[in-house]
Amino acid sequence: MPHGVPVTVPDDGLSTRQRRNRPLLIVHTGAMKGKSTAAFGLALRGWSAGWSTGVFQFVKSAKWKVGEEAAFRALHDVHQRTGQGGPVEWHKMGQGWSWARKQGTPDDHAAAAAQGWAEIARRLAAQVHDLYVLDEFTYCLHWDWVDTTEVLTTLADRPGRQHVVITGRNAPQALLDAADLVVEMTKIKHPMDVGQKGQRGIEW
């Protein structure tokens, strides 16, 4: 794929414009850090393009102050004041349908995850956002808190031009097979290998 040019052009009856603008299902998985970071970088491009973006964090604690959240809330305010960019909604633990992994039973966690996915499915059906970032959502599938087949059916049937990015380790094979773009973050070297803890501005 040199210089962004496809190696082959499928005989699918679509025009170049139709093929270019079709909605994508993107998965960022693997053991290394950077999966969410890459998804938020994509969301930044979406904001610049004027897209409506919905971020849904499924595992990270509400007490953890994520730098990207503050940045995107500020960008949402910029959009509200000036019309520049696009609107951004950010939903995480303690704000409606996330859960605390250290509290409650596995059934509680599964019920909360299912409630969260139901809200996302509702928004997909209503075409609320142009871009959905489902951060750490692979864990819900891996732990069977949300049915993978149902998720894939909903994503396949989503109307309009809604892009979806899913991040997290242990992505089910069925999700990888259904995705249009899959990235696996592989560790070559990490500061923690030599005892250095995460730091503000790098990890959060």
Q: CATH number, domain at 59?
A: 3.40.50.300
Domain annotation covers residue 9: no
Q: Is residue 15 part of a domain?
A: no
Please list the pLDDT of the chain residue by residue as tens digits (204 residues): 556 677 777 777 777 776 677 999 999 999 998 999 999 999 999 999 999 999 998 875 555 567 899 999 999 999 999 999 999 999 975 443 444 445 566 677 778 888 889 999 999 999 999 999 999 999 999 999 999 999 999 999 999 999 999 999 999 999 999 999 999 999 888 777 777 777 776 666
Domain that holds residue 111: 22-186
In a domain, 34, yes or no: yes
| Tens of pLDDT, residues 47-56 | 999 999 999 9
- Cα 35 to its chain centre, rounded Å, is 9
Please state the domain count of the chain.
1
Q: Is 204 a member of any domain? A: no
Report if residue 192 sits inside a domain: no
Residue 66 falls inside a structural domain? yes
Give a yes or no: residue 196 inside a domain. Answer: no
Model confidence over 145-176: pLDDT tens digits?
A: 999 999 999 999 999 999 999 999 999 999 99
* Residue at 39 is within a domain: yes
